[in-house]
Amino acid sequence: MDFLKILVTLGTQDKPFRRLLEMLESVLEELNWNEEVIVQAGYTEFQSDRMKIFDYIDMKEFDVLLKEADLVITHGGAGTIVGALKMGKKIIASPRLAQYGEHHNDHQCQLIDSFCEKGYILSCKNREELKSALLQINHFEPQPFQSNQERFLALIRKEIGI
């Protein structure tokens, strides 16, 4: 696997997302990954010798880390995914799931599936999918992101008559 700068972000959800960090730690160990991995963990407490973990990173520093990253591994938050897509980043996303107390519902599954279907990102719901995504990331070429924002705004303007 070629050298990659990896930024992991778990968002600001007030629930932990240890499952993703546990999967990543295990895969990094198996692949003997020695390059730097930076994690914005939010409310997730986790100790690692393979990752530099911060609760929160201020917005300016986060933007610098995002610009420098070759790969973003993230939860299924639309803001994080769209922001990284607009910067042309390769993304692996893992949904927070209600069954593990990571979120209130499973809407991140549908969001991630939609982005995957369009060829924007890779997804992982378990350790093996994460390992597979990491092994293929150097050959993954994401589709250029196309926002539906203008179309959506036009529909709203039409509906309210402006």
Q: What would the two tokens of residue 28 be?
A: 């990094």
Residue 16 domain-assigned (yes or no): yes
In the prediction, which pLDDT does 151 show?
Answer: 66
Residue 68 domain-assigned (yes or no): yes
Find tokens 């997730």 and name the residue: 44
In the prediction, which pLDDT does 98 show?
Answer: 80
Residue 11 domain-assigned (yes or no): yes
Give the number of domains in the chain: 1
Contact 76, 102 (CB under 8 A): no
Q: What is the DSSP string of the chain?
A: -----EEEE--S-SS--HHHHHHHHHHHHHTT--S-EEEE-TT-----SSSEEES---HHHHHHHHHH-SEEEE-S-HHHHHHHHHTT-EEEE----GGGTSSSS-HHHHHHHHHHHTTS-EE-SSHHHHHHHHHHGGG--PPPP---HHHHHHHHHHHHT-
Residue 93 domain-assigned (yes or no): yes
In the prediction, which pLDDT does 2 show?
Answer: 60
Residue 113 domain-assigned (yes or no): yes
In the prediction, which pLDDT does 68 show?
Answer: 95
We report the CATH number of the domain holding residue 148 as: 3.40.50.2000
In the prediction, which pLDDT does 35 show?
Answer: 85
In the prediction, which pLDDT does 48 show?
Answer: 94
Residue 86 domain-assigned (yes or no): yes
User: Tens place of pLDDT for every residue, the chain, 162 residues?
Assistant: 566 899 999 988 889 999 999 999 999 999 998 888 999 999 999 999 999 999 999 999 999 999 999 999 999 989 999 999 999 999 999 999 888 778 888 789 999 999 999 999 999 999 999 999 999 999 999 998 877 666 666 777 777 877
Q: Give the angle 105-20-69 at the CA atoms, nearest 5°.
A: 115
Residue 15 domain-assigned (yes or no): yes
Residue 1 domain-assigned (yes or no): no
d(CA 110, CA 118): 13
What pTM was estimated for this model as a whole? 0.88
**Beta carbons within 10 angstroms of residue 27's beta carbon:** 20
For 99, the domain range is 6-160
Amino acid type, 122? L
